[in-house]
């Protein structure tokens, strides 16, 4: 299910967030898979939690209407006391959920935009 673009995103996030990168989960409309889990995190716990997180991401409605002057919904970030979730959308039904330590939230807007570019640039390359 995950392809080279998703693993390029994992590589990019690891290079930028380093020890603050917790997990990455690729999802589609009917499936999901953990594509990265930091070594010190429990695989069983990661699998159990990821399913619920993906279900909530799939059900999420963007704050703005599709015809908004802001354009189409691309990504979102949820900042918590103990961590950060970032959803980088690929399509209305697919994307990658990244979890990070709270320390990774410094300069987060630029980081999210850079992650979007990793997926977008690879699509451009594949299409050539």
Q: Where are the domains of the chain?
A: 4-126
Longest dimension (CA), the chain: 43
- Determine the topology of domain 4-126 in CATH: Beta-Lactamase (3.30.450)
pLDDT band for 43, please (50, 70, 90 cuts): confident
Q: What is the pTM of this model?
A: 0.82
Are β-strands 94-100 and 21-27 bridged in parallel, bridged antiparallel, or unpaired? antiparallel
Instruction: Please list the alpha-helical segments (H only) found in the chain.
Output: 4-17, 43-59, 108-126
pLDDT tens digits along 11-37: 999 999 999 999 999 999 999 999 999
Burial 31-44 (b: 16+ CB within 10 A, else e): ebebbbbeeeeeee
Within 13 Å and on the Cβ side, how many CA atoms surround 88?
23
């Amino acid at each position: 299910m995950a392809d080279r673009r998703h693993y390029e995103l994992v590589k990019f996030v690891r290079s930028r967030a380093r020890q603050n990168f917790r997990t990455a989960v690729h999802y589609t409309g009917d499936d999901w898979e953990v594509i990265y889990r930091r070594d010190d995190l429990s695989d069983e716990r990661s699998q159990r939690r990821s399913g619920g997180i993906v279900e909530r991401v799939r059900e999420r409605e963007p704050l703005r209407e599709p015809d908004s002057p802001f354009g189409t919904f691309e990504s979102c970030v949820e900042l918590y006391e103990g961590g950060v979730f970032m959803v980088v959308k690929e399509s209305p039904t697919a994307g990658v959920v990244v979890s990070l330590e709270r320390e990774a939230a410094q300069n987060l807007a630029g980081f999210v935009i850079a992650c979007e570019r990793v997926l977008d640039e690879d699509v451009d390359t594949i299409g050539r």
